[in-house]
Amino acid sequence: MSAQPVQLNDFKRLWADAGDAVVAATQAVGASGWYVLGKEVAAFEQELAAFAHSPFAVGCASGLDAIEIALRAQGIAPGDRVLTTPLSAFATTLAIIRAGAVPVFCDTDESGLLDLEAADAALREVAGIRYIVPVHLFGHALDLERLWRLSDVHDVQIVEDSAQAIGAAWRDKPVGSVSGVSATSFYPTKNLGALGDGGAVFCATEELAQTCRSLRDYGQTAKYEHTLLGLNSRLDELQAAILRQAMLPRLPNWLQRRAEVAERYRRGIANPGVAIASVPEGSQSSWHLFPVRVAADQRTGFMEHLKRHGIGCGIHYPILIPDQPALKGRSFERWGELSRARLLSQEGVSLPIHPYLHEEEVERVVSTVNSWSAR
């Protein structure tokens, strides 16, 4: 193979495009002499909130912290049960456990997102569920109207994990808009990535935003006055400036490019051994990932075929969260068998879908997928 490998993410191309803007932002913060929670964080929070159609955004140190802060701002108490999905980044559940709560895992639908039908049943049958943490996985938006009805009928709070879904919407309603507080991440691979770690909490009211600002900063409400037991989870001025000046202005084009690549894959991939994973109805996806499915006993062979032809790929996610060794002996519950989520963890393969893919590379991914034959 003489052609360059097609990578799952290509940070060198990102740097070639955005490097000058990153250096300028860095220069300005360095010269300002103010490095933590200053003007840049405030300015980024405003522009981010406007982009996400949310009244308030509060920057913090990671997506993991953003979920924990969101839950705590909504008043989560030790022992509260939280309905969530077994197929996600481990951080979704880790945040629930760090908040002192008990995760209740519910199966996914065919798309790999929380099955809202099963969630409804779980909420009726399991006592003590006070929160739902749904994940807009792969950048697909869950049905926001049904989520809202679930929260209304069962009197539970929703904290959306939008770490993969910034810019996604369900029937023109932006993700994050059904919960009073929702969370996102700026980990470099995310659709809006920093040059390091970062996250944000979106809040519907000034009061919630104030609680989140306090929680990210040791629970301070005034200088040296601590009302809550908070975290050190502040967003750096440097990352905020990089995000606002170099990354956020590029995000609309990046999202458009991801959607184009997804469309090309959906039209071009035609291999009886490779199923294109379904997308929830009504979802206007941000296409963080593009998963396809192959039979579980063929997955290794398929991934080797891709690798041999220089196509990077990944698995999201190979181990269900309740099966993770770290949860052994911890307090959690399962609602039902989780068999759909388990099948997806055995069959899913993610293809490259970053915004710096060249046209020729997209075609190469399609033809390589189509040239594979299951044995």
Ligand X SMILES: *Cc1c(COP(=O)(O)O)cnc(C)c1O
Q: Of the ranges 19-27, 61-69, 100-108, 225-233, which one interacts with ligand X (CB under 6 A)?
A: 61-69
Sign of CA dihedral 290, 293, 296, 300: negative
Please tell me whether the peptide bond between 317 and the residue prior to it is cis, using omega within 30 degrees of 0. Answer: yes
Sign of CA dihedral 123, 176, 319, 265: positive
Q: What number of other Cβ atoms are within 10 A of residue 176's Cβ?
A: 29
Q: What character string, x for contact with ligand X (CB under 6 A) and - otherwise, covers 83-102? A: -----xx-xx----------
Report the DSSP pairing between strands 102-106 and 81-84: parallel
DSSP state for residue 3 in the 8-state scheme: S
Residue 286 engages ligand X in binding (rule: CB under 6 A): no
Q: Give me the least distance between CB of 303 and ligand X, in Å please.
A: 21
Q: Give me the least distance between CB of 144 and ligand X, in Å please.
A: 17
Report the DSSP pairing between strands 102-106 and 333-335: parallel
90 near 105, Cβ under 8 Å?
Answer: no
9 near 354, Cβ under 8 Å?
Answer: yes
Residue 285 engages ligand X in binding (rule: CB under 6 A): no
Q: CA-CA distance, 36 to 241, in Å (whole number)?
A: 11
Residue 25 or residue 192: which is nearer to ligand X going by CB? Answer: 192
Q: Give me the least distance between CB of 183 and ligand X, in Å please.
A: 7
Sign of CA dihedral 259, 264, 265, 266: positive
User: What residue type is assigned to position 367 of the chain?
Assistant: S
Residue 187 engages ligand X in binding (rule: CB under 6 A): yes
Residue 64 or residue 195: which is nearer to ligand X going by CB? Answer: 64
Residue 40 or residue 161: which is nearer to ligand X going by CB? Answer: 161
Nearest to 199 by CA among 48, 51, 348, 86: 48
For 214, the token pair is 């306090």
Residue 257 or residue 288: which is nearer to ligand X going by CB? Answer: 288
Q: What character string, x for contact with ligand X (CB under 6 A) and - otherwise, covers 131-170? A: ----x-------------------------x-xx------
Residue 54 or residue 182: which is nearer to ligand X going by CB? Answer: 182
Distances (CA, A) of 102 to 83, 216, 241: 9, 22, 37
Give the number of C-alpha atoms closer than 13 A to the C-alpha of residue 371, restricted to the C-beta side. 12
The residue within the footprint of ligand X, chosen from 14, 18, 22, 62 (CB under 6 A), is 62
Residue 82 engages ligand X in binding (rule: CB under 6 A): no
Residue 135 or residue 349: which is nearer to ligand X going by CB? Answer: 135
The residue within the footprint of ligand X, chosen from 185, 191, 214, 233 (CB under 6 A), is 185
Using CB positions, name the residue nearest to ligand X.
Answer: 63
Residue 163 or residue 274: which is nearer to ligand X going by CB? Answer: 163
Residue 88 or residue 245: which is nearer to ligand X going by CB? Answer: 88
User: What residue type is assigned to position 220 of the chain?
Assistant: Q
Residue 59 engages ligand X in binding (rule: CB under 6 A): no
Residue 239 engages ligand X in binding (rule: CB under 6 A): no
| Residue 234 DSSP SS3 | coil
Q: What character string, x for contact with ligand X (CB under 6 A) and - otherwise, covers 196-225? A: -x-x--------------------------
Q: Give me the least distance between CB of 94 and ligand X, in Å please.
A: 9
261 near 353, Cβ under 8 Å?
Answer: yes
Q: In what order do the strands lie in the sheet with 290-293?
A: 275-276, 290-293, 348-351
Residue 182 or residue 245: which is nearer to ligand X going by CB? Answer: 182
Q: Give me the least distance between CB of 26 and ligand X, in Å please.
A: 21
Number of residues this chain uses to bind ligand X (CB under 6 A): 15
Residue 344 or residue 369: which is nearer to ligand X going by CB? Answer: 344
Q: CA-CA distance, 264 to 360, in Å (whole number)?
A: 12
Report the length, in residues, of the chain: 375
- Residues forming the site for ligand X (CB under 6 A): 62-64, 88-89, 91-92, 135, 161, 163-164, 185, 187, 197, 199
